[in-house]
Amino acid sequence: MAETAVKTTENRETVGEPTRSGFFFTPRVDIYETDNELTLYADVPGVPADGVDLRFERGELILQGRVPRRQRPGQVMVNEYEEGDFYRVFQIHESIDPTRIAAECKNGELIVHLPKVEAVKPRQVRVRGE
């Protein structure tokens, strides 16, 4: 595609940022394109599917949720995993069909399918001879 169908609206910082309500994270994301769709993969470790809030509003795909506290037995020796809210917004181009957006959460990864509208999908044009 000549124009990117998904644009992020914030920086790529992935370290938790302290706020008044706790830590705020920007999940890491990979986006892949095929002829039929864009697929967005977001890291959301420890977050169940019902803990992800994914919305499409006014041309934006909004991803938010909360990384829960991990409860483990024993004394903490190293604690790098932090709890807190995550939030990310993507500008969605009109080449994406918002009525067909679908998502699933597997093994700490959110997978969002962003199907292209039929008009922008490549199609083979048959060339006839004499």
Position 21 scores a pLDDT of 55
Q: What is the DSSP string of 114-127?
A: EEBPGGGS--PPP-
> Bigger pLDDT: 122 or 114?
114
Position 12 scores a pLDDT of 46
Is the pLDDT assigned to residue 1 strictly greater than 50? Answer: no
For 111, the enclosing helix (H) or strand (E) is strand 109-115
Is the pLDDT assigned to residue 30 strictly greater than 70? Answer: yes
**Signed CA dihedral, 108, 40, 12, 25: sign only:** negative
Position 20 scores a pLDDT of 52
* Whole-number Å distance between alpha carbons of 112 and 52: 12
Condensed to tens digits (0 to 9), the pLDDT of residues 42-79 reads: 999 888 899 999 999 999 999 999 888 878 899 888 87
Position 11 scores a pLDDT of 47
**Among 79, 128, 86, CA closest to 108:** 86
Cβ-defined contacts of 28-35 (< 8 Å, 24+): 29/88, 31/6, 33/1, 33/5, 35/116, 35/121, 35/122
Domain spans in the chain, listed from the N-terminal domain onward: 22-69+83-120
Which pTM does this prediction carry? 0.74
Question: Domain spanning 22-69+83-120 has what CATH number?
Answer: 2.60.40.790
